[in-house]
Structure 1
Amino acid sequence: MSSPSPRGSVEGWLASAHPSPVTARSEWGSAARLALIPLGSRFEAVRLPEGIVHGAAGSDALSIVSDRLAQYLCGGPVIHDPGFRRYYALVPPGTAQAWLAPVAECLGEDTYLGVPRADRTEPDEQTLASYWVVPMARPGRLCKAADVLALVMRGDSSADEDES
């Protein structure tokens, strides 16, 4: 018997955060390849403005941003929504209750996030659809809140320097 593919096991874990995992899988099978997943049970997400992320990375070049996010967040998963110019770092449940960085909101319970299918790892210039800028390496592997906060502080101080 073969073991499940990494994509399949990651998608299974993400789908398990949905009240109907079958619905999440169906949404990934649609043209948008995006499932609306409720936050709070399996994971939450810190919404990072593009300027903060690019400031922390010292670049707006996608390959550099991707590499720096992976480095600064120790490979933790990050979604990029180019249409709204935001990044979403997936963090453990409960993070929103203690989150104190006003320039980057932590989204928790009573919030849904558009989560791309696990294989959507490249930007689509025509649709500006969300994709994994740092894919989830394995089920349950999330960013540490402290690493995300350090990234926010780095990006915020870089933005302050640019304004002076």
Structure 2
Amino acid sequence: MASAHPSPDTVRREWSGAAKLALIPLGRAFDAVRLADCIVHRAVGSDDSCVARDRLAQYLEDGPVIHDPGFRRYYALVPTGTAETWGTPIAECLGEGTYLGVPRADHAELDAHTQASYWVRPMTRPGHLCRPADVLALVMMGGRVDDEDES
């Protein structure tokens, strides 16, 4: 993950900080689909973090997913270039020109006190990302976001 940044040492320093979070540019090693938590929770049929973790593993074939509970979003990491061809307005695909807050690899549990981002599905090996078609299917299962869900 650190190699996706022009200065991997900067990433390592940021991961060593209290937030255990580093800003990594998208479009080099991966893009990210930003999913409102209501979409994910509807798709997996639960807002329980353990249920979501297990069902995301199943639906996304163990692809890496970050959860940002403070902003009520999930980020599915997908191959570079996905942002250029992403076809649904329900969930935005972020690519080149955007930075994503990426938790340290071992930060894989919800901390209810800090509401900090964590890996709901950690990256299991370099280059193993979510397939865009699987993420799109998840988005379609989650349905349309209502105006009150966006707030």
Normalising by structure 2, report the TM-score.
0.95
One-letter code aligned to 1:19: P
- Gaps of at least 5 residues in structure 1 are 1-13
Aligned to 2:69: 82
**Structure 1, residues 46-93: CA drift from partner, whole Å, max 9, x if none?**
000000000000000111000010100000000000000000000000
Aligned to 2:44: 57
Distance 1:151 1:123 in 2: 22
**Structure 1, residues 6-62: CA drift from partner, whole Å, max 9, x if none?**
xxxxxxxx0000010000001000010000000001000000000000000000011
Q: Does 1:110 align with 2:97?
A: yes
Aligned to 1:134: 121
What are the residue-to-residue correspondences of 1:1-164 with 2, within 5 Å?
14-156=1-143
Distance 1:100 1:51 in 2: 19
Moved over 2 A (4+): none
Task: State the structure with more CA Rg.
Answer: 1
Report the secondary structure of 2:39's partner residue: helix
Distance 1:21 1:74 in 2: 28
One-letter code aligned to 1:140: G
What is the aligned residue count? 146
Normalising by structure 1, report the TM-score.
0.87
What percentage of aligned pairs have identical amino acids?
69
- Gaps of at least 5 residues in structure 2 are 147-151
